[in-house]
A and B are shown apart, each in its own frame.
Chain A
Amino acid sequence: MNNLLRLEEGVAFKVNDDPWTLVRDLENQLPTGPLILPLALWLIRRIEHHPSRDAVWLGPDDEVESLKPWLKLIPMIALEFPSFRDGRAYSQAYLLRTRLGWAGELRAIGDVLRDQLSHMRQCGFDAFAVREDKCAEDALKGLVGMSVHYGRSAIEPRPLFRRR
């Protein structure tokens, strides 16, 4: 994917050689190379008990709990924001990180914009496929966010009152 930002050890940077191709359309011939597939397709392509070469993406209607049996076999998970005003992926990300113990890459895809990146980061995303018509370097500034977070989050399980 183009226009990708990644966070590693708290440092954010633009990724220029991301190998993944997002597959939305099930009708066409699949491209070659590592693919990010919708869950239904991923399940068809998987090989029993073997780590998959394909990543999975979920839409906001998908239940993250359905990934539970496959988490050890999935190389990367992407969650879609069909619109940046649809906040379901924030809860999905939180659940994947805190309840399902997902430690691999968690990528935001879809309507991913600068002014929401810090919220995504708080909820556990560590890769951000910024919408292609936007400047990824500019969006990097959005990852910084605020220095104070009252509540707890996927990356800071203690609310501020336990840190004051």
Chain B
Amino acid sequence: MYQYDDYDRALVFERVAQFRDQVERFMAGALSEEEFLPLRLQNGLYMQKHAYMLRVAIPYGTLSARQMRTLASIARDYDRGYGHFTTRQNMQFNWIELAQVPDILERLAQVEMHAIQTSGNCVRNITTEAFAGVAADELIDPRPLAEILRQWSTINPEFLFLPRKFKIAICSAEHDRAAIMMHDIGLYLYRDAAGQMLLRVIVGGGLGRTPILGLQIREGLPWQHLLSYVEAVLRVYNRHGRRDNKYKARIKILVKALGIEAFAQEVEQEWQHLKDGPAQLTDVEYQRVASAFVPPAYEPLADTDLDFGTRLTENPAFARWVARNVQPHKVPGYASVVLSTKPGMASPPGDVTGAQMDAVADWSEQFGFGEIRIAHEQNIVLPDVPKADLYTLWCLACEHGLGCANVGLLTDIIACPGGDFCALANAKSIPIAQAIQARFDDLDYLHDLGDISLNISGCMNACGHHHIGNIGILGVDKNGSEWYQITLGGSQGKNSALGKVIGPSFSAAEVPQVIERIIATFVRYRESEELFVDTLQRIGLEPFKERVYPKSLEVVA
């Protein structure tokens, strides 16, 4: 993992002191609510329905055991004993007192963490996939460039008051698990035939009110130009992005208005002034950062373990968990484990208690190298588990409510906090997620259904990424009551697609039945082991609509 040096440390501690002063001035009335707002947002602090919410950055989703224990201590000492992992690999605390925030930030700074720019109209947390560095299909470890981007974007004075928030994701594997097509800038890192690291730059993707997949703006950009190129994109956006309407202010709207060619030309023109200048990355800097991400000291293990094999054949529940929650590792004898935070009624998607966080920290040391990842699907990943330890880990995970064998299945629901917490939400997300999870509680049946993603957002801001769920559920407000619009056919990864609305929306009570009918339609038309998305692709929306909207089901136009 990246270790802070004196510069990094000085910056986070100075930032805490600066914000402490700003909080004091606000509480003393020297700063107005309006003046304080962007200051607190850029320190991760939102005002929610019931309390302040603090969003802590987990850069590219990587945590050490020590950092996880610190999050657990914050959950216990300053919140109600739990935290919530978000779809951007961060952690949110929902019940925070303003006066205590500087102390919380100070505690975070002591373990090389912060909440800088987790909100506000600036460059947000740089994300990548949860299996970076260990995935069997990885081309290049994306974390060094992600860290370099994190540093570059942190308190970059020119780009702190952009027209709107700005999200960057980077990925370098056969499968895109970082959703780079849905970001303001998506970066795909690969090598050419000569071994040179190159970047494909995607721009203008995003969900929210106007979901758009990103468009390619540059192919084959040598990695040394990463910062100058991103600077060029941001300068064009800062100067020309719309500021008159919050809903038209994301870079995707500018790209759409100008057209990708004209936008690319603007960027290219700006970049001509910057390329080959001091912003050009050096080998020395890359090596300095990359040295923090060298693979840990893996044991030479046999790829097959007798005891593990026996457990697999003897224990179907364990075998099911391995089939869904264990991912291949690039080192023989090791695997990556996904701990599901979606047990159903026991707790909302993404919520983890302090005790669970402590347990995960312990396991990361006992069965790995003290490293933990947060997936954008809101689950927790232990990246380096010897296969021989999988059974023990599974038993412990089950004891702690983190052993649900549902990764990638219908009940692995991605959901925002929704109307229970969020001031922006039109409707609640958590009760909908739990009602669906309760309806589909037969694991055998779920496993038979195979991969189906279900995403729920409580409003158009789409924090639950509903557009890219195979099944998407969006909370909408109709005359003050909560309704849910269903989309089908969204997907993430290299074949990214946005879901299509199937028809009029439903009440909360109707949603589980609607999902049941969608699944029944799938089962009826499915050919052998076909995936949900493939069946949908083959037969189209009509059969689903016919089943979902019979005359007997009361619908609201």
Contacts and interface: CB of A to CB of B under 8 A. Distances in A.
A146 B285 CA distance: 22
Interface residues of A, number: 34
- Nearest 4 interchain pairs by C-beta: A87-B161, A119-B157, A122-B157, A161-B285
B7 A159 contact: no
B39 A87 contact: no
A123 interface: yes
A147 B161 contact: no
Nearest to A161: B285
B239 A88 contact: yes
B121 A90 contact: no
Interface residues of B, number: 42
A94 B121 CA distance: 19
Contact of A148 (B11, B156, B159): B11
* Chain A interface main SS type: loop
Interface in B263-302: 273, 277-279, 281-282, 284-285, 288
Interface string B153-172: 11111111110000000000
Interface of B: 5, 7-8, 10-11, 14-15, 18, 22, 30-31, 35, 38-39, 121, 148, 151-162, 227, 235, 238-239, 243, 273, 277-279, 281-282, 284-285, 288
A158 B278 contact: yes
A103 interface: no
A153 B35 contact: no
Contacts of B284: 161
14 contacts: A90-B158, A94-B158, A147-B14, A148-B8, A148-B14, A150-B152, A151-B156, A151-B157, A151-B227, A161-B148, A161-B151, A161-B285, A164-B7, A164-B285
Given A150-B155, A161-B281, A87 B14 contact: no
A86 B278 CA distance: 27
A147 B162 CA distance: 23
A161 B279 CA distance: 9
A91 B238 CA distance: 7
B39 A147 contact: no
A138 B152 CA distance: 30
B157 A88 contact: no
A115 B273 CA distance: 30
Interface in A19-63: none
A138 B31 CA distance: 12
A87 B31 CA distance: 20
B245 to A, nearest CB: 14
Nearest to B6: A148
A157 B30 CA distance: 35
Given A86-B243, A148-B7, A157-B278, A115 B160 contact: no
Nearest to B15: A146
A91 B158 contact: yes
Contacts of A147: 10-11, 14
A88 B273 CA distance: 19
B281 A146 contact: no
A62 to B, nearest CB: 11
